[in-house]
């Protein structure tokens, strides 16, 4: 890391809509704040299981609130997240494991595609309400993100290898080590120690801790 820059890690899973909000805002602040932003694709299912966490929507009142909250947050954060009434069934009926392994494979081989690829997964699942778990849909996302058919095919073959499976497990374990219990988990390495922030609505606090000014969700 360059002198005096704060490393900020974003542990995310594309099944998590709040992770998308945090991702876009941190991307906007990348050149405003004195920080090195690191994307850390991890597996939310593993984090929930390891910590005994339950999806918030399992509490009906909270679920009702979350639908409204996500709508407001999407508008405030200017992210094209479109919430459907059956958003939670959509999440519960989808495993993001294959997608996160695919993203991990690309991170390991062609990291320059990590950001656009990840964004396309969110676009497809949270904006277009399309499937992201089947191989043909994963390839469609990759194509949309500018990856060649050859590269995507290679990455798809890698997802069943121990190398990729282990890397995703390791990243997920690292998030847990920092105290994560859900996503997004943002870890700022400042003053010689890691600081964990949970959710997309703590970025103002993150700025304050690392000595940076918050200029709203869409800094000009």
pLDDT digits (tens, 9 = 90+) for 132-163: 999 999 999 999 999 999 999 999 999 999 99
Angle at the Cα of 87 (from 81 to 88), degrees rounded to 5? 135
**Both tokens of residue 27?**
């991307």
- Distance from CA of residue 144 to its chain's centroid? 18
Q: Please, which pLDDT band fits residue 3 given cuts at 50, 70 and 90?
A: low
Of 57-61, 74-78, 110-114, the one with minimum mean pLDDT is 57-61
* Cα(62)–Cα(92) distance, integer angstroms: 16
- Three-state DSSP state, 12: strand
Assessment of whether the complete model's pTM goes beyond 0.85 = yes
* Cα(126)–Cα(129) distance, integer angstroms: 5
* Per-residue pLDDT, 1: 46
Averaged over 110-130, what is the pLDDT?
A: 97
pLDDT digits (tens, 9 = 90+) for 73-93: 999 999 999 988 888 888 888
**Both tokens of residue 168?**
């995703």
Catalytic residues: 16
Q: Please, which pLDDT band fits residue 117 given cuts at 50, 70 and 90?
A: very high
* Cα(105)–Cα(160) distance, integer angstroms: 10
* Per-residue pLDDT, 56: 81
6-210 has which CATH code?
3.40.30.10
Averaged over 37-48, what is the pLDDT?
A: 97
* Distant-in-sequence, close-in-space partners of 104: CB < 8 Å, separation ≥ 6: 41, 159, 164, 167, 168, 171
Cα–Cα nearest to 57, from 22, 79, 83: 83
Segments making up each domain of the chain, as ranges: 6-210
Share of the chain above pLDDT 70, in %: 99
Query: Taking all residues of the chain, what is their mean pLDDT, rounded to a whole number?
Result: 95
* Cα(21)–Cα(77) distance, integer angstroms: 7
* Cα(23)–Cα(40) distance, integer angstroms: 11
* Cα(122)–Cα(136) distance, integer angstroms: 16
């Amino acid at each position: 890391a360059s002198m005096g820059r704060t490393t900020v890690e974003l542990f995310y899973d594309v099944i998590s809509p709040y992770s998308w909000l945090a991702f876009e805002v941190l991307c906007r602040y990348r050149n405003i704040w004195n920080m090195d932003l690191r994307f850390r694709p991890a597996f939310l299912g593993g984090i929930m299981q390891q910590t005994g966490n339950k999806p918030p929507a399992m509490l009906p009142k909270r679920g009702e609130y979350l639908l409204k909250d996500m709508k407001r947050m999407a508008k405030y954060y200017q992210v094209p997240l479109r919430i459907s009434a059956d958003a939670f069934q959509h999440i519960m009926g989808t495993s993001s494991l294959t997608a996160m392994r695919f993203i991990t494979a690309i991170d390991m081989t062609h990291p320059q595609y990590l950001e656009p690829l990840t964004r396309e997964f969110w676009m497809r699942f949270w904006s277009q309400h399309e499937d992201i778990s089947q191989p043909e849909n994963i390839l469609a996302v990759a194509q949309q993100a500018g990856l060649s058919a050859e590269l995507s095919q290679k990455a798809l073959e890698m997802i069943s290898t121990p190398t990729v499976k282990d890397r995703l497990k390791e990243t997920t374990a690292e998030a847990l080590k920092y105290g994560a219990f859900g996503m997004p988990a943002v870890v700022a390495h400042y003053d010689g120690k890691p600081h964990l922030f949970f959710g997309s609505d703590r970025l103002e606090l993150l700025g304050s801790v690392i000595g940076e000014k918050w200029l709203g969700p869409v800094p000009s």
